Amino acid sequence: MKCYYHPDREGVFKCFKYERHLCSDCIRCQNTKAYCKYRDGCAVYLLWDEENNKRII
Ligand SMILES: [Zn+2]
């Protein structure tokens, strides 16, 4: 699968809620406030969250 935003790139991470594949540049939770039943096991959310924490610190 290709990245949802970059058709020329490989989408290595998948948002299960929106069923979109994302490349490493696009990794970002689409809607952090909405309930998502996949969030606990979501690589997109976890990695995005880690990046956010780094910036805050
Ligand atoms: Zn991308």
Residue 1, in any domain of the structure: no
* pLDDT over 70 (residue 52): yes
Q: Encoding tokens for residue 40?
A: 């606990």
pLDDT at 14 over 90: yes
In a domain, 8, yes or no: no
Distance between Cα 10 and ligand 1 center (Å):
8
Per-residue pLDDT at 57: 57
| Residues spanned by the domain of 28 | 13-56
Cα of 35 to ligand 1 centre, how many Å?
24
Which helix (H) or strand (E) covers residue 14, if one does?
Answer: strand 13-15
CA 36–ligand 1 middle distance (angstroms): 22
Class of residue 46 by CB neighbours under 10 A (exposed 0-12, middle 13-18, buried 19+): middle
Our count of domains for the chain comes to: 1
